[in-house]
Every structure is written in C-alpha cells, then in structure tokens.
Amino acid sequence: MPRLDESLLTPMPPFSRLEKRQIREILDLASVRRFDEGVAVFEEGAPAERFYMLLDGYIRVMRITPTGEQVIALHIPSGQLFGIAQAIGRTTYPATSVTASEAIVLGWPMRLWDQFVAQYDGFATETYKTVGQRLGEMNNRIVEMATQQVEQRVANSLLRLINQTGRKVEAGIEIDFPITRQDLSEMTGTTLHTVSRLMSAWEKQGLVASRRKRITVTDAHRLVLICRGELPPSR
C-alpha cells in the first residue's frame, strides 16, 4: 500500500495530542494490511505479539465458551486501538478479533507498547479511557443478560449498534456493516430461531428492515420502549 499520510492518525484519540513529526515516527514503525470481511486478525489465546489500530472498517470481538459456543462480546469501530493485551496485563489475546467488514489495519510489535506509553503524550490516557468504555459496555451487557427478557436484549443490541456505527438512510438508521441474525443471537445469548422470530415480527410492525446482511432500524423510539418493558411482547 502507498505511504500513509500523518493526517490519518491526527483525529484519533491516542494520537490527537501529538505533533506531525511524532505521528510520522509512529507510522514509520507500523505495518499496514487490508483484510477482507470475516478474517481473523488474531485468535483468542494466541501470544499477543502485536497491537493494532483500525483505520477503516469494523472489528467483531468474539469469545468461545467452555462448551464451544461462540459469543460476540463487542464491536470496534474505525479509529480505535485493539489487540492491546499489554494494557490489561495480558501476554495472550483474551478474545478473537474478526473483521465485520473489509478493513484496513495498522499493526505494531507489542514490544513498542511501553515506548509509546512513555514517549507520546496522551497515548496512555486515551487508550485506558477506551479500555474503560469497553469494560463498561461489557458490564452493561452482563446486567442485561441477567435481568432482561430476550426481546429487550435484542432491542438493546440493535440500539447500541446504531449508536456506535449507524448511518442515516432514507428508511431510518442502518448498521454500517454486514450483520446476520446469527450474529445477533451470539450477541444476546439466545437462539437463532428466537432472533429470527423477533426480527420477522418487528419487520411486520415497521420497527426494522433487513436485507442481504444489512439491518436498518426504522423506529428507534419503539425499540427504546421495548428495552424499557413499556410495550407488550411481539408475537
């Protein structure tokens, strides 16, 4: 790929306080890769040899349960670091990261992590803010799993995705990467059958529209009411 311009990193929080010269230093130490959709950048349990910045696209973070079931823990949008095992005291990756769309990824050897933390103003503080936000999101999902009905959990997941990745289209707000009903079932701890039943009912009611792995929320307000338990269950 062609040599990347410093302006690509300037708006991204870990690098936003740095001078152009410093960003050039960081880019010169990076490797750049383009990934197709559905490709694992790294696997859960593998040695954490590199950390990454997602320049474009989306990353799906997944865990495998002891019984072999796949659970989607969260989605990472462009402009964020990932694979930052050293930031949480790990020498192996705690989860698998798979591209949810085509993606362009910068990568650095993990041995540079401490150097970046010490040398570049704001790198550490902004990175740990991101870690805190992700832990907060995962904690919220644990509470949802423990306290909410399936319909509320699926509605919450859709709302979370349009808040993080949504783009306005004529029909409403579209989740800006391919997502299937199987993905939703893995995000919400329920079965594909249940998610399919819900999505079909919501499409008939005008809450969502879906086609070719694309989901558009057409009535976000009613999904919020479902999350609050203020609407009767869909049939």
Residue 1 lies in a domain: no
Same domain for 99 and 152, yes or no, is: no
Residues 6+ apart with CB under 8 A from 131: 84, 87, 88
- What DSSP character marks residue 104? E
What per-residue confidence (pLDDT) applies to 126? 87
Residue finishing a domain among 138, 167, 198: 138
Same domain for 102 and 162, yes or no, is: no
Residue 1: band (very low, low, confident or very high) from pLDDT cuts 50, 70, 90: low
Q: Which helix (H) or strand (E) holds 77?
A: strand 70-77
Residue finishing a domain among 114, 138, 162: 138
Same domain for 179 and 217, yes or no, is: yes
Same domain for 68 and 174, yes or no, is: no
Domain CATH for 178: 1.10.10.10
How many domains does one find in the chain?
2
Same domain for 73 and 167, yes or no, is: no
Neighbouring C-beta atoms of residue 10, cutoff 10 Å: 14
| pLDDT, tens only, 141-187 | 888 888 889 999 999 999 999 998 899 999 999 999 999 999 999 99
pTM: 0.84
Domain CATH for 63: 2.60.120.10
* CA angle, 20 then 58 then 47, to 5°: 80
Domain of residue 119, residue span:
6-138
Same domain for 97 and 204, yes or no, is: no
Is residue 131 within 8 Å of residue 87, measured between CB atoms? Answer: yes
